[in-house]
Amino acid sequence: MEQKKNNQVTKSLLWLLLLIIAVIIPWILGSNQYSVLLVTTVLLYGVMATLWNIIGGLAGQLDLGSFAYLGLGAFTSGTLLIRYNFTPWMGMILGGLVAAGFALLIGIPLFRFRIREVWYALTTCALVEILKVVFTMWEKVGGPVERYLPHYGSLYHMRFSSYIPYYYLMLGLLLIALGVNYRINKTRLGYYLKALGEDEIAAEVLGIDTRSCKLKALVCYSFLIGVTGGIYANMYGYIHPSFFDGQESIKVAILGIVGGRGITYGPLLAALLLVGIQEFLRASIGGDVSGLYLVIYSVILIVVVLFRPKGIATIFQDVYQRVFSRRGVEKKNVQ
C-alpha cells in the first residue's frame, strides 16, 4: 500500500518536473523565434496525437481525418475574424463546434453502416482530401489564395508579435488534452471504449451500445481538434485550403500508433521524439539537402515500429519499472 503511494508521488513529481521544463523552454529559446515556432509545432503534434488517442487508441477506430477537423476549426475562426471582426477566443470554440457537428454528420452513417478498420481509415483520409477540394473551389471562404488574418499585434484578435504566447496556448491545450484522456480513462465510457477497441462484437454482445460510444469519442476528439485549429490559424496568420493535409493526418495517426495504443502519454512521447527529431533535422540539414531529413525520419519510424510494435511508451515503462521498482524492492528487504 505504502509502495503504491510512493509510486504515485514519484509519478506526480515526474509530471511536475516535465511541466516546469515545458514552461521555461521559451525563456531559454526566447531570442530565437524560429526555434520557438519549431517547439510549438512539436507541441501541436503532441496535442493532436494525444487527442487522437481517444478515438484511435481507446476506441480502436483508425481515424485519419484529424486535419479535416483542424482545418474546419481554422477556417471557422479565421473567417469570423476576417469578415466580422469576431474575436478568435470565441471563434475557436465555434470552430470546435463546427468540427464536432461535421464529425457527427459523417460519423452517424459511418458507424450506422458498420464501416471499420481499413475502410474507416480510408474514408476519413478521403474526407480530408474532399474538404481540401471543396474549400479550394468555394471562392467565398477559401479559394486558391491565402487569406491573411488582420489586426497584427492585438490581444483581442489573438494576434501576437511573438510565437511565445502561442506556445503557452498550445501547452494549455496539451494539458487539457491529457486531462480529458485521463478523465475518460477513469469513467464508464472509457471502459466501454477500451472493450470495443479490443473486440467490437464481444462488446456488443455484452450490451454496450458501441455506436453511441464511438460517436461520443469522435465528437470529443473532433471538438478539441477544432479548437486547436483556431489557434493554428492565428499562429500562422492565414487560412488556406492546404490546411486540409491528408499526409499530415496520417502522420498524427502514426504518432498515436507508434507511441503505444491506449497509453495516455504514449502519443505525446512519440510526438516529442519523432516530430522533435524531424523538426530538428529539418532546421539543421533541411536547407542543404532537401528530403534528407525525411529519409532519416522515416528510417527511424520503420525501425521503431519493427522493434517496438507495442509502442515507444513501453520502453519507458520498462525503464521506469527497472529504476523505481527495484529500489522499492530493496527498501522492503532492508526493512
Report the interface residues with other proteins, using CB under 8 A.
62, 109-110, 113-115, 117-119, 121-123, 125-127, 129-130, 133-134, 136-137, 246-247, 250-251, 253-254, 257-258, 261, 289-295, 297-299, 301-302, 305-306, 309
Residue among 77 and 249 whose Cβ is closer to other proteins: 249
| Cβ at position 120, least distance to other proteins in Å | 9
Residue among 289 and 334 whose Cβ is closer to other proteins: 289
| Cβ at position 255, least distance to other proteins in Å | 10
- Secondary structure (H, E, C), the chain: CHHHHHHHHHHHHHHHHHHHHHHHHHHHHCCCHHHHHHHHHHHHHHHHHHHHHHHHHHCCCCCCCHHHHHHHHHHHHHHHHHHHCCCHHHHHHHHHHHHHHHHHHHHHHHHHCCCCHHHHHHHHHHHHHHHHHHHHHCCCCCCCCCEECCCCCECCCCECCCCHHHHHHHHHHHHHHHHHHHHHHHCHHHHHHHHHHHCHHHHHHCCCCHHHHHHHHHHHHHHHHHHHHHHHHHHHCEECHHHCCHHHHHHHHHHHHHHCCCCCCHHHHHHHHHHHHHHHHHHHHCCCCCCHHHHHHHHHHHHHHHHCCCCHHHHHHHHHHHHHHHHHHHHHHHC
Residue among 9 and 299 whose Cβ is closer to other proteins: 299
| Cβ at position 42, least distance to other proteins in Å | 17
| Cβ at position 200, least distance to other proteins in Å | 13
| Cβ at position 302, least distance to other proteins in Å | 4
Residue among 18 and 134 whose Cβ is closer to other proteins: 134
Cell of 68: 479535416
| Cβ at position 157, least distance to other proteins in Å | 32
Residue among 20 and 285 whose Cβ is closer to other proteins: 285
| Cβ at position 40, least distance to other proteins in Å | 22
| Cβ at position 39, least distance to other proteins in Å | 22
- C-alpha dist (Å) from residue 111 to 115, 134, 200, 204, 211: 6, 24, 12, 13, 6
Residue among 157 and 261 whose Cβ is closer to other proteins: 261
Given a contact cutoff of 8 angstroms between Cβ atoms, the answer to whether 184 and 190 are in contact is yes
Q: What gap in Å lies between CA 217 and CA 233, rounded to an integer?
A: 25
Cell of 116: 471499420
Residue among 28 and 137 whose Cβ is closer to other proteins: 137
- Phi/psi at 147 (nearest 5 deg)? -110, 115
Residue among 130 and 176 whose Cβ is closer to other proteins: 130
Residue among 1 and 289 whose Cβ is closer to other proteins: 289
| Cβ at position 61, least distance to other proteins in Å | 10
